[in-house]
Structure 1
């Protein structure tokens, strides 16, 4: 018998379902792609889904063919950007070039140059890159372009962590002798089922699958025209 410190878990015999697992991932990625095509940015989706990194969202979009791929990083671009923007991107571990990839801005050098100037209503790329930065990082945009009006007080909403929600689930982990693998499933969510070579790996994979299912539910609630 094996038990988690965070969740109630006990070993039992249970069926496996690789097709169900694939369907969960396919549904999640399809909804993510739909939200992106509806105008929700990579950074917005990262925050909305409480994803650890925007690169996770970008990887899905690249795998689905929505974005060609990652542009080769050029650190020289940080010398062109306004200092506050340059420092912000380097601090958050999200490369400015890849941020441009998420917005389908291919000319990142020109985008950086345009951000070093005020927004030009007559320039389409200037409008796009300024609007994108203001959309994703409104506090940063205000500090850079409207420093006198910027409010130094910031508030952050606190949501229930994924670990806290996962801890309330009832988990069953079983060993299949014929397949020589462990199967983990959440009682409350039958579709949340995974297989792995060890008990610990099964638990970790189940936690990740749970996160995908919860994010899929959130994506389905987004307003998409």
Structure 2
């Protein structure tokens, strides 16, 4: 089906499967496996772009200066990155924001690539030209006119600001979440680590971890009252 150019059909079928993939239990896992299998032709292209972007960001061009470090051969590096890409693709399939009904395959490819880039410490903006391209012709048309979607970080900021304005989050929670998700420092996964937040606040890493867990739990509770919270938000 994905080998055709019937992009509206792609969207309907993939979205129906993703709705199943979002539920717990064996049915959800089976639907996710079907989507993952259908999207596997896009994995080599994503893997290649992630490798090139990671090498470009570190200034390393040789096979032994790629993503996996000094002792890895090119084949080993490719296998490691491909495994990571498949893992992120699985995650995107299980957590896909179901309000996105158009360009479903393209969104899966794009978000998988962004997640993989972040996992290797590369800002996807640094590889914008690579992110917007797809090697497989079957997906190229779907990327031609992507929809304007609200990023998960924008949604999180909106919910966080709303919770703070209503006094649903204490000062510690505000400080930790603000520095973690919207501060100047970032770890390998694109957000500040508890150690980095602790250095800014002058407290230990375990303390920040406790504060963060409590703050996220409080924000999750508050989000149930957030206007529009019944929608499948990306965050």
Query: Does the pair score TM above 0.5?
Result: no
TM bucket (normalised to shorter chain) is under 0.3
TM-score when normalising by structure 2: 0.27
**Between structures 1 and 2, the one with greater helix share:** 2
**Between structures 1 and 2, the one with greater strand share:** 1
Q: Radius of gyration: which is bigger?
A: 1
Larger RCO (CA within 8 A; separation ≥ 6): 1
TM-score when normalising by structure 1: 0.28
